[in-house]
């Protein structure tokens, strides 16, 4: 059994704990938070009898602890990861990994020196609709990808448990860092290495956010694929996560498919699936994410979402923000 702990007792921590509780190879041995009361409340909610901590360094001293989920506010992810790395504990880090390149470099170096396994929490890779799209790409149904589009639209307000810190520049960062990074990461996973980005950002009706809550940009991949990306916290509409993949032999948009493979097709084919259509974390595939990471740890494999392997995703998100701030195109890789 692999001893597991969650550091941070906010909104998403419950889903991490439930996933570890369901995995046959892990046992929850600790829950930690800045206040023991918060950690204790989470254990009571799930019927856990494990130890609670308000000091990460003390929790990491446990000899029975093997893996930690870092579920703290965005600006603390790297410092918490570095503590886990020094203690030799494998780490699943909630997105975003880092709010700037300097912090990403620190995280990558700490992981390289420690040899721990890592996974950055882009759990939408295990969403059934996303998996369906990947199968259509891999089996050649869509042909060569020509164009892609992705977005994240959610009117994030006080209902969001992370609202008080998520709206700040220091802890939330940007609309890309806080949420749009999910769309960035999926585009990079389909498109590969990025050559250049350009973006605009703005604000129309949400003055409570310290950063501009709307951004729209274009990504040019080195293989010639072009992608557009938009994210907004101020669009008055139900949660939307649009994802379009257009190829030389077919196209998928809005859950519908049109492809040469289906001769005689006169209209779009509807793809019944489970879609990423809600911001509620209870809907997200955390059990599959944790199962994948535990398997990586037990078999010694490197996850495709490790700190090392998401370099393009991290840099693309930061480059979009930089372009929007400077009004200039930004080429990758970033310094």
Residue 26 and residue 144 in one domain: no
Closest to 53 measured CA to CA, from 9, 90, 110, 112: 9
Q: Write out the residue range of the structural domain in which residue 53 sits.
A: 2-123+286-305
Residue 69 and residue 79 in one domain: yes
Residue 84 and residue 202 in one domain: no
* d(C-alpha 211, C-alpha 194), whole Å: 25
Q: What percent of the chain has pLDDT over 70?
A: 100
101-113 pLDDT tens trace: 999 999 999 999 9
Residue 7 and residue 78 in one domain: yes
Residue 170 and residue 319 in one domain: yes
Residue 142 and residue 164 in one domain: yes
- pTM comes to 0.96
Place of tokens 């994802």: 243
At residue 98, the pLDDT reads 98
Query: Per the structure block, which two tokens stand in for 40?
Result: 């204790």
Domain count across the chain = 2
Q: Residue 68 maps to which CATH number? A: 3.40.50.720
Residue 99 and residue 176 in one domain: no
Residue 232 and residue 293 in one domain: no
Region 160-173 average pLDDT: 95
Residue 76 and residue 115 in one domain: yes
Which of the residue ranges 19-23, 75-79, 153-157, 305-309 would you say has the lowest mean pLDDT?
153-157
Residue 132 and residue 271 in one domain: yes
Query: What are the two backbone dihedrals, phi and then psi, of residue 174, each rounded to the nearest 5 degrees?
Result: -150, 170
Question: Residue 335 pLDDT more than 90?
Answer: no
* d(C-alpha 283, C-alpha 138), whole Å: 26
Half-sphere exposure for 31 (CA within 13 Å, toward CB)? 27
Coil, helix or strand at residue 98: coil
């Amino acid at each position: 059994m692999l001893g597991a702990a969650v550091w941070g007792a906010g909104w998403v921590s419950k889903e991490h704990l439930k996933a570890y509780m369901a995995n046959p190879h892990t046992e929850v041995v600790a829950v930690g938070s800045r206040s023991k009361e918060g950690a204790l409340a989470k254990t009571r909610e799930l019927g856990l009898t494990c130890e609670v901590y308000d000091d990460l360094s003390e929790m990491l001293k446990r000899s029975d602890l093997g893996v930690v989920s870092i579920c703290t506010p965005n600006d603390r992810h790297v410092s918490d990861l570095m503590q886990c790395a020094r203690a030799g504990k494998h780490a699943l880090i909630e997105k975003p990994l880092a709010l700037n390149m300097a912090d990403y470099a620190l995280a990558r170096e700490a992981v390289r020196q420690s040899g721990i396994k890592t996974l950055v929490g882009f759990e939408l890779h295990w969403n059934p609709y996303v998996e369906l799209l990947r199968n259509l790409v891999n089996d050649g149904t869509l042909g060569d990808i020509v164009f892609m589009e992705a977005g994240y639209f959610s009117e994030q307000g006080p209902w969001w448990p992370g609202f008080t810190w998520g709206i700040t520049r220091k802890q939330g960062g940007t609309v890309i860092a806080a949420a749009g990074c999910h769309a960035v990461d999926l585009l990079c996973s389909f498109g590969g290495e990025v050559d250049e980005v350009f973006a605009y950002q703005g604000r129309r009706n949400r003055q409570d956010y310290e950063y501009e809550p709307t951004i729209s940009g274009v990504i040019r991949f080195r293989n010639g694929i072009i992608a557009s990306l938009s994210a907004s916290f101020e669009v008055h509409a139900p949660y939307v996560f649009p994802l379009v993949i257009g190829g030389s032999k077919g196209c998928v948009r809005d859950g519908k498919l049109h492809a040469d493979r289906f001769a005689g097709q006169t209209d779009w084919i509807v793809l019944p699936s489970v879609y990423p259509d809600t911001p509620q974390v209870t809907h997200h595939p955390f059990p599959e994410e944790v199962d994948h990471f535990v398997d990586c740890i037990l078999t010694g494999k490197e996850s495709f979402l490790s700190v090392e392997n998401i370099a393009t995703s991290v840099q693309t998100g930061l480059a979009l923000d930089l372009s929007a701030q400077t009004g200039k195109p930004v080429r990758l890789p970033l310094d």
